[in-house]
Amino acid sequence: MSSMKTTGFFRALCAALLIGNSADATVSDNAQLVEFATCAGRLSAQMEYQWMFDGPLSEQTEIERAAMIDLVNAIMQPDEGRAVLHWRISAKQAQSALLTRATFNDDTADAAWAARMAAQLAGECTALILH
């Protein structure tokens, strides 16, 4: 597969993972719950990445992740646990894929794009938390 086709495929894959399956959102009409669960997943991936590459920063991310999980738990209904877990895992996988792509990519432009996207998505999540 050519480099251009590969790059296009991976961008489409990441976009699909980041957007998620919109049918899953119908499990709950609570957009906040989807957003908080997605952010908990993203911050989990961010924290694990920081354990490897920036240990001290992981402590702040761990605090933010815990706050996001508290928000999830505060608004989640008992029957929404499976959906919440799915949203968290999907978002964690997508964020992890971006961080891996940013770190271990030979294509510097693509790596920079992945790093910017990962930072933007994590930043959107931490902006939801009162500091």
* pLDDT tens digit sequence for 50-94: 999 888 899 999 999 999 999 999 999 999 999 999 999 999 999
As for how many domains the chain has, the answer is 1
Task: Determine, yes or no, domain membership for 3.
Answer: no
Task: Determine, yes or no, domain membership for 69.
Answer: yes
Instruction: For residue 98, give every residue at least 6 positions away whose Cβ sits within 8 Å of its Cβ, in sequence order, or none.
Output: 14, 114, 115, 117, 118, 121
Q: Is the pLDDT of residue 128 over 50?
A: yes
The domain in which residue 46 lies consists of 31-126
Q: Mean of the pLDDT values across residues 34-45?
A: 98
Give the predicted TM-score (pTM) of the model. Answer: 0.77
Q: How far apart are CA 103 and CA 100, in angstroms?
A: 5
Task: Determine, yes or no, domain membership for 103.
Answer: yes
